[in-house]
Amino acid sequence: MDRFSEYRVMWILVLFDLPTETKKDKKAYADFRKNLQRDGFTMFQFSIYVRHCASSENAAVHIKRVKSFLPEFGQVGIMCITDKQFGQIELFYGKKPQGVKTPGQQLELF
């Protein structure tokens, strides 16, 4: 059971602010988002994507992959937090609290 500990399971957050002034910038922005989605990331907010990982080793693989397709311009931040920390996020829509909408559980096949 230690394998599924809320302190071992990780979430990767990719936060970005990319330019969209020229056609080339817009294409780079779209390509970056598509690559995130192909790698299993889900949009959390407009410029924040999240991905669930079973371990810190698995998270390191996906972080390396994100680094491989970083755009030439703009700012990108990558943050890794535990499942316990992610579960403590408080979200609001105006003054109304909202539940955290997490992607479905990723199953592992052996």
Where is the binding site for Mg(2+), in residues?
A: 17
Tell me the DSSP string of 38-107: HTT-EEEETTEEEEEESSHHHHHHHHHHHHHT--SSSEEEEEEEEHHHHTT--EEETTEEE---PPPPPP
DSSP state of 22: S
For the purposes of burial, counting CB atoms within 10 Å of the CB of 11, is it exposed (0-12), middle (13-18) or buried (19 or more)? Answer: buried
Nearest Cα to Cα of residue 35 among 71, 77, 80, 74: 71
- For the annotated binding site, the residues are 17
